[in-house]
C-alpha cells in the first residue's frame, strides 16, 4: 500500500487530471489524421508542414491541437503557435484552480521555446534538442571524480558504483542520439 505522496498515486491523479482537461477543452481535443506516405498513396491529402505520422487536427479545422505531457508533478504543453500555446496554458491553469491544485509561481513558466521539463532543458528554437543543465553536468563530473579516487584507494563499494551509474543513466536522454 502506497502513501498519498507516492509517485504512483501522483501519476494516477495526473492522468485523471489530463483526461478531464482533454475532455473539457477543445484546445486539446481534435480529429486524428494520418499524415503519412501510405495516406498519400491512398489519395488522401497530406500536408508536409504538419510533420509526419498521426496528427490531431483541432476543432478549428486548421492547426494541430495542443499537446500536454505529465510526469508525476511536471507538465509540459506544446502547441503549433504561440497564441494556441498561451490559450492551452491558460486553460490548464484555470483547470488546476477549479480542482484546487496549487501551481507555485516559481515552478511555473509561461510558454517559451526553451523549457525545463523533468530536469532536462527542451529547446525548440532552431534545431530542436534536449540539453543537460550545467548543474547536472557538474554533479556528474564530481561523482565520476569521487568514484575514480575511491577506486585508486581500493575503497570502491557496489553501492557507490550503483549510485554513480544511476546518476549517469538519468542523463542519457540529454546526450546526442541517447548514447549516454
- Range of 8-22, 112-126, 159-173 with top mean pLDDT: 112-126
Instruction: Reply yes or no on whether the pLDDT at 126 is more than 60.
Output: yes
Rounded distance, CA 29 to CA 87, Å? Answer: 13
Rounded distance, CA 66 to CA 85, Å? Answer: 7
Q: How many CB atoms lie within 10 A of CB 144?
A: 13
CA angle 114, 69, 131 (to 5 degrees): 35
* C-alpha cell of residue 179: 548514447
pLDDT in tens, 11-55: 667 778 888 998 899 899 988 888 888 888 888 888 887 777 888
What is the residue-averaged pLDDT of the chain? 84
Say which range, 13-22, 116-125, 169-178, has the weakest mean pLDDT: 169-178
* C-alpha cell of residue 78: 506544446
Q: What is the pTM of this model?
A: 0.73
Rounded distance, CA 74 to CA 118, Å? Answer: 6
pLDDT in tens, 68-110: 988 878 899 999 889 999 999 999 999 988 888 888 888 888 8
Amino acid at each position: 500500500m502506497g502513501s498519498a505522496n507516492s509517485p504512483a498515486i501522483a501519476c494516477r491523479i495526473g492522468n485523471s487530471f489530463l483526461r478531464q482537461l482533454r475532455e473539457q477543452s477543445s484546445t486539446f481535443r481534435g480529429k486524428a489524421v494520418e499524415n503519412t506516405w501510405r495516406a498519400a498513396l491512398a489519395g488522401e491529402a497530406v500536408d508536409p508542414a504538419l510533420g509526419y505520422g498521426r496528427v490531431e487536427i483541432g476543432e478549428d479545422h486548421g492547426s494541430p491541437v495542443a499537446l500536454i505531457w505529465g510526469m508525476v508533478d511536471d507538465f509540459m504543453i506544446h502547441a503549433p503557435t504561440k497564441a494556441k500555446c498561451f490559450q492551452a496554458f491558460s486553460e490548464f491553469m484555470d483547470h488546476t484552480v477549479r480542482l484546487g491544485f496549487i501551481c507555485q509561481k516559481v515552478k511555473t513558466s509561461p510558454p517559451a521555446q526553451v523549457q525545463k521539463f523533468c530536469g532536462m532543458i527542451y529547446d525548440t528554437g532552431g534545431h530542436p534538442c534536449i540539453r543537460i543543465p550545467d548543474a547536472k553536468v557538474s554533479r556528474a563530473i564530481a561523482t565520476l571524480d569521487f568514484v575514480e579516487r575511491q577506486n585508486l584507494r581500493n575503497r570502491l563499494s557496489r553501492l557507490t558504483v550503483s549510485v554513480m551509474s544511476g546518476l549517469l543513466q538519468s542523463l542519457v536522454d540529454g546526450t546526442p542520439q541517447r548514447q549516454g
